[in-house]
Amino acid sequence: MTDWLSPEEWAAVRLSLKVALTAMAASLVPGILVAFLLERGRFWGRQALDVLVHLPLVLPPVVVGYVLLLGFGRRGPIGSVLAEQFGIVFAFRWTGAALACAIMGFPLLVRAVRLSIETVDRKLEDAAGTLGANPAWVFLVVTLPLIMPGIIAGMVLSFAKAMGEFGATITFVSNIPGETQTLPTAIYTLTQVPGGEAGALRLTLASIVISVGALLASEWLARRARRRFFA
Amino acid sequence: MTDWLSPEEWAAVRLSLKVALTAMAASLVPGILVAFLLERGRFWGRQALDVLVHLPLVLPPVVVGYVLLLGFGRRGPIGSVLAEQFGIVFAFRWTGAALACAIMGFPLLVRAVRLSIETVDRKLEDAAGTLGANPAWVFLVVTLPLIMPGIIAGMVLSFAKAMGEFGATITFVSNIPGETQTLPTAIYTLTQVPGGEAGALRLTLASIVISVGALLASEWLARRARRRFFA
Amino acid sequence: QGKDVVVFAAASLKNALDDTKAAWEAETGDKAVISYAGSNALARQIEAGAPADVFLSADAEWMDHLAGKDLIRPESRTDLPGNALVLVAPKESAVRVSLEPGLDLSPALGAGRLAMANVDAVPAGRYGKAALEKLGAWEGVKNEVAQAENVRAALLLVSRGEAPLGIVYRSDAAVDPNVRIVATFPEGSHPPVVYPAALTKGTTNPKAASFLAFLRSAKAKAIFEKQGFTVLNRPNA
Amino acid sequence: MILDVDIRHRQGAFALEARFRSEGRLTALFGPSGSGKTTLVNAIGGLIRPDHGRISVKGRVLVDTKRGIGVPKYRRRIGYIFQEGRLFPHLNVRQNLLFGRWFTPRAERAANFDAVVELLGIEHLLARRPSALSGGEKQRVAIGRALLADPHLLLMDEPLASLDEARKAEIYPYIERLRDEGGVPIVLVSHSVAEIARLATSIVVLADGRVIASGPAAEILRHTSFFPQAGPAETGALIETRVSGHEGAFGLTMLATRAGTLTVPNLDLPVGTPVRVRLRARDIILSLTPPEGMSALNILPGTISSFGEPDGPSIDVEVDCGGDSLIARITRKSAERLSLRPGLPVHAIIKSIAFDREVLGGAGGERDL
Amino acid sequence: MILDVDIRHRQGAFALEARFRSEGRLTALFGPSGSGKTTLVNAIGGLIRPDHGRISVKGRVLVDTKRGIGVPKYRRRIGYIFQEGRLFPHLNVRQNLLFGRWFTPRAERAANFDAVVELLGIEHLLARRPSALSGGEKQRVAIGRALLADPHLLLMDEPLASLDEARKAEIYPYIERLRDEGGVPIVLVSHSVAEIARLATSIVVLADGRVIASGPAAEILRHTSFFPQAGPAETGALIETRVSGHEGAFGLTMLATRAGTLTVPNLDLPVGTPVRVRLRARDIILSLTPPEGMSALNILPGTISSFGEPDGPSIDVEVDCGGDSLIARITRKSAERLSLRPGLPVHAIIKSIAFDREVLGGAGGERDL
Ligand SMILES: Nc1ncnc2c1ncn2[C@@H]1O[C@H](COP(=O)(O)OP(=O)(O)OP(=O)(O)O)[C@@H](O)[C@H]1O
Ligand SMILES: Nc1ncnc2c1ncn2[C@@H]1O[C@H](COP(=O)(O)OP(=O)(O)OP(=O)(O)O)[C@@H](O)[C@H]1O
Ligand SMILES: [Mg+2]
Ligand SMILES: [Mg+2]
C-alpha cells in the first residue's frame, strides 16, 4: 500500500502535513486576535493593519517569499534577532515553510473569523456581562463559541492554502528534501523535467486525498458546532 | 506623475485591474450559487462539489494552470467546444488570465458567502414566505441583503487574490506584454533577473496602492451594508 | 558519517542530477540532498546565507552574480554539461524552417504565438532571444512571443498545440512524443548553454568537493548524455 | 366550517395531537406555556408540515398528508404575527410594513396604510430600522406588517403581550371589525382571559399538545375548570343584548336583556345594535330583597337555578333572569347565611361601572379604518 | 435611599431625562410603549452609559459622569431579565441557568437551583438548547438565569409578559419574598397595573422619556390620571390591615382595618401578620342604609370626604372609614339620585370574592424557596 509513493515522496507528504498543521495552529490565535482588532477595534492604524493583513494575498507569492527571506533569513533583521535571542531559526527549516504558509493563509483565516465576529449578537455579550462575566470571560464563554463556524472555516482555508502554497515557500526556504520539500514544491520539481508528469500526478492525488480528509473533518466539526445551536 | 512607471508597466497595471475586476465579477453569481448549494443543498455529490471548489486552494497554482490548459486550451475538451460554438478563446488572452484568477479566488469567495448564509436567520425567510414571497423572492429581498457582508468579503478576497495570482495565470496563458502580462507576472519576471529589485518594488507598490483602494472601497460598502441593520 | 552535502541546483537538472547523486552515493557511501528551484531563487537564498555546499546554476548570469558578491569559490567553478537549443512544433505540424541568417518565422507562425521561456529571466529564453537576434528574426516575432515561466512550460504550450512553434532545449524536446524538432539552432547563434557549478564560500562540508569532482567524472558524463545533455565539461576560463 | 384541523406532529420530545373544528370567525387558542399553541399555529401557517393529518380553512385544504397536499406558505395568503417579532433587520419600518403588499395582487390591496399606521401609533418610526425600536414598538410594527398583507387568514401569536392597556384598547376594536366585517378568519393565541372573552367567537383549549375543549366562546368560558390559570376573577356569563336607549346627560347607555334593562357606560352605538356583554361572576351581588338607596343601578330579578361545586371559600350560583342565565360567585358563608337554594327568587345587583370596554364585546367602531 | 437616579441620555431622536429617588424595595417603572423604560433599566444595569448624570443603588454610586465613575456592568452584580430573552444559544438550559453562578463568589451562592427550577417548571427542559423552547419557556429560563446569579440588584423588564396566569400566580410570591426578605432591590417594568399594585412598593411613571410621577405605590396608584392606559378598572386605594382571625369552615380570613373588619378568602398567614389590600374603586358600592339580606359580607361605615373630577359617566367618591380612605367609583346618575355630598354618612359594600390574590399584596409565602 505504501509503495505507490517513494520514501522521499512520503517524506514530502508527512512534511506537508506537519507544515500545514503547524501553520494553521500557529496562525489561529493571532488570526482571531487580529480579526477582533479589525472588527471591533477603533484605533489609529486600523486601516494600515487591514492592508498589511491582506498583503500576502495581493502580492505574488514569490515577493512574499523574498520579503520573508530578507526579513527572517539568517542575516535578516528579524531572523538574526530571533536566532540569537531565542534560538528560533526559520531559514531553510521546515519551520520556515510553516511560517510562509501561515502568512500566506493569514488573510483567509482573518477574513473568515471577521465575518463571524460581525454576526455575533452584541446583546448576548451584554447579557453575559450583566451576569458577572468580565470582557475576557465573555470572549471565552460567549463570543468564542459563537464564532466557531468562522474559526473552523478559517482553519480549513488556512490548512488548504498551506497544502497548496508553493511560491513563497520555495523562495523563502528552498526545496530541501526532508527539511523543506513540501508537496507543492515536490510537484513543482517534477514538472520541471521530462517524464515527471506521472510523479506530479501521484503527488497531486496525495494532496487531494489529504485535503478531502481535512474537509470532512472540518465539516464534522462544523456540524458539531452547529448542533450546539439547533439541538 | 505617470512617469514613475513605464508605459509597459502601466499596461500591466491596467491589465491587472481589468483581469481582477472581471474575475471578481464573473465569479460572483456562480460563487453565490455554489455557496448556496453547499450550505443549503442536500444532494448527492455535495461533498464532491465541496472538494472540487477547494481544489484551487489545495493544489499548487502551477498545477491549476496546467489543468486549465488541458481543459480550456485550444484542444482541451471545454476550450475547443467554447471556441467552436461560441467563439470564446482563453488561450493567450486576457480572458484566460481572468479565468485563472477567478478559479483561484473561487474557494475564497464561496467560503465567505457560505459563512454568511450559515448565519442567516431562517425564521426571517419563513416570515417573508408567510407574507407571500416565493422562494426566489425570499432569496432576492431577504437572504441576499442579509448575506451582503459575506458577499463583500468574498469579493474583496477574490479581487485581492486576482491581484496577486501568478502561478496559474502564467502557466495557462503565459506572459505576453499587453495581453496577459499582469502585475504579478511582471513582478515575477523582474525578480528573476539580477538587479530587477527596483522595478519589482515599484510594481509591488503599484499593486499595494490598488489593493488599498479596493479595501477602502469594500469597507465603505460594508459600512453601508451594515448601516442598513443598525441605523 | 558527517553531514549530508547540500546541493542547490536549477530545477531543469533534476533527472540527470538525481541519477548522478545516486551513483555518487553508491560509490562513496556519503549522502547528498538536492534542493531544486529556479536559479534566481537559489542564488538569492545563498546570498541570504543558505546552508548550500554546491550550487548548480542554469546559466552563467546568476553564478556571476554570486561570484561578484564573493559567495562562491571561484577556483571550484566548472561548467557542467550543456544543451542545445531547438525549434519545436507540435508533432502533426508539417512546418519547415531552416535556421539561417535572414530567418523570418512569421509564415510558419501564422496567427499563432512563438512559445519561449521568459526572454529576460530564464536562460533558455535569453539564449533563444539571442539566437533570433543573431539570425535577424527577433524584430519580426518579438510581439508574437508567449513567454512561459520556464522552458518546460514553453514546451507544454507547443506540446498541447497552443503554440505552433517554440524554442526549448533539445533534452526536453527529445523525450516529448507530442513535439517534433523542426530545427536545431547553430551553436554559434547563441552563447553556449552551460550549467556552471561551484562550491559556495560558506561550505564547511569536506564531501562537497568530492561531489563536485564526481560531477566531472565519466560516470556522470554518461548519465548526463543519457538525459540528452551535451557534455562540455571544460574548466571555466 | 371555517377551521378544520386534525393533525399529529412530533417535535423533539413533544407530541402535538390536535383535532378540532371551529365555526368561529375568531378562534382563540388558549393553554399553558409549552402546550403547543405556537406549533399549531405554525402548522396552519405552513411553517411546519405536520407529520400526519389535514388542515382546511373555509373549505380550502391547506394540508392533507394522505392526499399529499401541502400548499406552500407563500400561497396561503396569511398574515402571521409571530410571537417574537421577526422584523426584517435590513428594511426600515415602512418597508417592513409594505413587505406583504409587494406580493399582494393589486386588486386585493385593501388595508389602508395610513390608517393602520395611525392605529398603531408608529408614524414617527417609519424611517427607522427595527434595531432602533423599543420592544412594544417592534410588536406594533409586526402587527401592522401582517394586517397590511391583506391576508385571507390572520394568525396572531400573543400579538398584544407587551403593549400597554391604552394601546390595546385602541387595537381591540380594529380586530373586532376585521373579525365581524372582513370575513378574514382569525386565529389568536392569548393568555388573557379578558382578551379572549372580548374577542373570541370560538375557543380551543390546549394542554400538553392535546385539545381538551373546543367550541363557541360563550360555552367554553362558562367552564371555569378549563381556565384554572385564569384565576377565579374572570369566570362569568356572556349574554346577548341590544342597545335600547341612551341617557346622554349621565353618559349612560341602556341595554335590553331578557331579564330587564342594564345600564352601562355610554356606548357610541345606534339603538338596536346587538352587543355582547360579559357579566363577571365576581361582580355580581345577590340580594333577597330589592335594595334601596344604593349606588348600583342594575338590579335584575331572577331565580336560582343551580349551584356549582364549592371552590375554596366560594361557590358559583347560577341565576335564571328571564331566560338569560347569570353566574354569581359568592362566599359559602353568604350562601348559608341567606339560605340560598334552587328555586329561590333573588335580585342580582351589578354596578354600571363594572362594565368596562373589556367586558363589552363587539362594541368597537369609533375609528374609521 | 435605595435607588437614586438623575440622568440625561440621547438615543437617536429620543431623549431620556429621568430624575427620581425611590425608597422602595421594589420600584415599578410604568409608562406607554416607547417611553424609555428599557433605556432607563439599561442605564441602571450598565448596558448604556448615560450622557450625563448619576445613578446610585443603596448608596453605591454606579455612574457619575461628573466624577468620571462608571462601574462596568460585570461588577454591578445585577440579575437582568431582558425584554427579549437573550438566552445563550450555544448553551443548554442548565448551562444558561448556571451561567451567572460561575462568576458569583462561592460564599454568595444562595439561590437554590432545584427550587428555582421547580418554581419555573423547567425541569424537563434542562438538557435542551434555547432554540427548542417555546416562547414562554424561554422567558422562564431567562427569569431563572437572573435569579440564580444571586444578584445584588434585580432588573426585570416585563418578565411575565407572555406567561399564563397560573404560572404568574406561582412566581409572584417568590418575587414578593425576594422583595421583602432578600434585601435585593428590584426594578420591575410592567404594563399590568394589577401586577404593579401587587408587587410594587414604589412606582415611577414615565412618559416620553420624562418622569411624570414617582413615589410610594399606595400614593401613586391613587392618581388615576397617571394610569390613563390602565383603564378605569384598576383605580383604587391601598390600605394596610392586619390578620385578625380565620373562619376555617368557610375558608375565610378576617382582616382588621381602622374602619372595621374585612372578610376575605382564606390567607394562610398567622394572626397579626400585616397585609396590604387594594380596594378597587370599581368593586365598591355605596349605600345610604346598611343593607340587609345581601350576599356581600363587607359593609364598612364611613363618611364621604370628597369627590373627584367627573370622568365620562362616572365619578370617584372618597370615603373616610375611620381614618382609612377608600375610593368608590359610581355613576354620576347614582350620585345625583342618592344626593351624595361631602359629610354624608354612607356604607361601603364590598364582596369578599372581590379580593383575589392579585389584590392582596404581601401575602405570599406558601412555598419554601
Ligand atoms: N437604538 C436606538 N436608536 C434610536 N432610538 C431608539 C433606539 N432604541 C430605542 N429607541 C427609542 O427610544 C425610545 C425609548 O425606548 P425604550 O426601549 O426605552 O422604550 P420602552 O419604554 O422600553 O418601550 P416598550 O414598552 O415598548 O418596550 C423609543 O421611542 C425608541 O423608539
Ligand atoms: N424545535 C423544537 N424541538 C423540540 N421541542 C420543541 C421545539 N420547539 C418547541 N418545542 C416544544 O414543543 C412544545 C410546544 O411548543 P410551542 O412553542 O407550541 O408552545 P406554546 O404553547 O406556544 O407555548 P408558549 O405559550 O410558551 O409560547 C414545548 O414543550 C416546547 O418545549
Ligand atoms: Mg408560543
Ligand atoms: Mg422596553
pLDDT attached to residue E98 = 94
B153-B56-B33 Cα angle (round to 5): 50
Question: How many angstroms separate the CA of residue D74 from the nearest CA in chain B?
Answer: 4
E126 vs E228, which has greater pLDDT?
Answer: E126
Q: How far is the CA of D208 from the centre of ligand 3 (A)?
A: 13
Would you say residue D367 has pLDDT above 70? no
The answer to whether C72 and C25 are in contact (CB under 8 A) is no
Chains within contact range of chain E (3+ C-beta pairs < 8 Å): A, D
User: For the residues E116-127, what does the mean pLDDT come to?
Assistant: 92
C168: contact with A, CB 8 A cutoff? no
pLDDT attached to residue A162 = 93
E9 in ligand 1 pocket by Cβ < 6 Å? Answer: no
CA distance C130 to C185: 11
Chains within contact range of chain C (3+ C-beta pairs < 8 Å): A, B
pLDDT attached to residue E113 = 93
Q: Is C26 helix (H, G, I), strand (E, B) or coil?
A: helix
pLDDT attached to residue E185 = 92
E127 in ligand 2 pocket by Cβ < 6 Å? Answer: no
E14 in ligand 1 pocket by Cβ < 6 Å? Answer: yes
Mean pLDDT score of chain A = 89
D132 in ligand 1 pocket by Cβ < 6 Å? Answer: yes
D133 in ligand 1 pocket by Cβ < 6 Å? Answer: yes
Would you say residue A229 has pLDDT above 60? no
D39 in ligand 2 pocket by Cβ < 6 Å? Answer: yes
Name every chain D residue with its beta carbon within 8 A of the beta carbon of B229: 89-90, 129, 131
Chains B and A touch (3+ CB pairs under 8 A): yes
Q: How far is the CA of C192 from the centre of ligand 4 (A)?
A: 86
Which member of E100, E128, E129 has the closest CB to residue A131? E100
pLDDT attached to residue D278 = 76
CA distance B47 to A220: 12
pTM of the full structure: 0.84
CA distance E135 to E112: 24
Helix axes B94-119, B46-58, angle to 10 degrees: 130
- The percentage of chain D sitting over the pLDDT mark of 90, rounded to a whole number, equals 39
Selection from E283, C218, B124 nearest residue D130 by Cα: B124
* Residues contacting residue C204 through CB under 8 Å, at least 6 positions apart: none
pLDDT one-digit tens code per residue, C84-121: 899 999 999 888 888 888 888 888 888 889 999 988 88
Q: What residues pair up with D53 in beta bridges, in sequence order?
A: D7
Identify the CATH number of the domain defined by range D238-362.
2.40.50.100
Residue among D7, D29, D38, D204 whose CB has most ligand 2 atoms within 8 A, to mutate = D38
The answer to whether E319 and E326 are in contact (CB under 8 A) is yes
Locus of grid cell 510537484: A187
Report the atom number in ligand 1 closest to the C-alpha of D162.
Answer: 25
Give the Å distances, CA to CA, from E109 to B49, C104, E25, E101, E147: 53, 94, 21, 7, 11
The answer to whether C85 and C151 are in contact (CB under 8 A) is no
Name every chain A residue with its beta carbon within 8 A of the beta carbon of C35: 174-177, 180-181
Would you say residue E231 has pLDDT above 60? no
Would you say residue B158 has pLDDT above 90? yes
CA distance C72 to E243: 108
pLDDT one-digit tens code per residue, D112-130: 899 999 989 999 999 999 9
E229 in ligand 1 pocket by Cβ < 6 Å? Answer: no
pLDDT attached to residue E93 = 95
- The percentage of chain C sitting over the pLDDT mark of 70, rounded to a whole number, equals 96
User: For the residues E174-197, what does the mean pLDDT come to?
Assistant: 86
Q: Does the distance separating the beta carbons of B66 and C61 come in below 8 Å?
A: no
pLDDT tier at D195, thresholds 50, 70, 90: confident
- The percentage of chain A sitting over the pLDDT mark of 90, rounded to a whole number, equals 53
pLDDT attached to residue E335 = 85
pLDDT tier at D234, thresholds 50, 70, 90: low
Distance of alpha carbon D125 from the chain centroid: 29
Residue among D10, D11, D51, D210 whose CB has most ligand 2 atoms within 8 A, to mutate = D11
Pull the grid cell for residue A158: 488556512
Q: Does the distance separating the beta carbons of D74 and B134 come in below 8 Å?
A: yes
User: For the residues A91-102, what does the mean pLDDT come to?
Assistant: 92
CA distance E271 to E253: 9
B170: contact with C, CB 8 A cutoff? yes
Which residues of chain C, if any, have pLDDT below 70?
A: 1-2, 231-237
Indicate the domain borders of chain E: 3-220, 238-362
Lowest mean pLDDT: which of A13-17, A119-123, D105-109? D105-109
The answer to whether D302 and D259 are in contact (CB under 8 A) is yes
B118: contact with A, CB 8 A cutoff? yes
* Residues contacting residue A48 through CB under 8 Å, at least 6 positions apart: none
pLDDT tier at D282, thresholds 50, 70, 90: confident
Which member of B58, B185, B215 has the closest CB to residue A54? B215
CA distance C8 to C56: 6
B113-A26-A76 Cα angle (round to 5): 115
The answer to whether E291 and E347 are in contact (CB under 8 A) is yes
From D84, which residue of chain B is nearest by alpha-carbon distance? B123
E16 in ligand 1 pocket by Cβ < 6 Å? Answer: no
D14 in ligand 2 pocket by Cβ < 6 Å? Answer: yes
pLDDT one-digit tens code per residue, D253-263: 888 888 788 88
CA distance A56 to A157: 14
D156 vs B3, which has greater pLDDT?
Answer: D156
User: For the residues E3-22, what does the mean pLDDT come to?
Assistant: 93
From D124, which residue of chain E is nearest by alpha-carbon distance? E13
* Residues contacting residue B161 through CB under 8 Å, at least 6 positions apart: A57, B101, B104, B105, B108
Question: How many angstroms separate the CA of residue A151 from the nearest CA in chain C?
Answer: 35
Would you say residue D369 has pLDDT above 70? no
pLDDT one-digit tens code per residue, E233-259: 456 777 778 888 888 888 888 888 887
* Residues contacting residue B203 through CB under 8 Å, at least 6 positions apart: B5, B9, B12, B13, B183, B186, B187, B190
Would you say residue A198 has pLDDT above 80? yes
* Residues contacting residue D31 through CB under 8 Å, at least 6 positions apart: D37, D205, D206, D207, E164
From A135, which residue of chain E is nearest by alpha-carbon distance? E74
- Whose CA is closest to atom 27 on ligand 1? D135
- Is residue A220 packed enough to be buried (19+ CB in 10 Å), middle (13-18) or exposed (0-12)? exposed
Q: How far is the CA of D17 from the centre of ligand 2 (A)?
A: 13
Domains of chain B: 7-230 (1.10.3720.10)
E129: contact with A, CB 8 A cutoff? yes
Other C-beta atoms lying within 10 Å of the C-beta of residue B2:
7
pLDDT one-digit tens code per residue, A131-183: 999 999 999 999 999 999 999 999 999 999 999 998 899 999 988 888 889 99
Identify the CATH number of the domain defined by range D3-220.
3.40.50.300
pLDDT attached to residue B146 = 93
The answer to whether A130 and E78 are in contact (CB under 8 A) is yes
- Whose CA is closest to atom 28 on ligand 2? D34
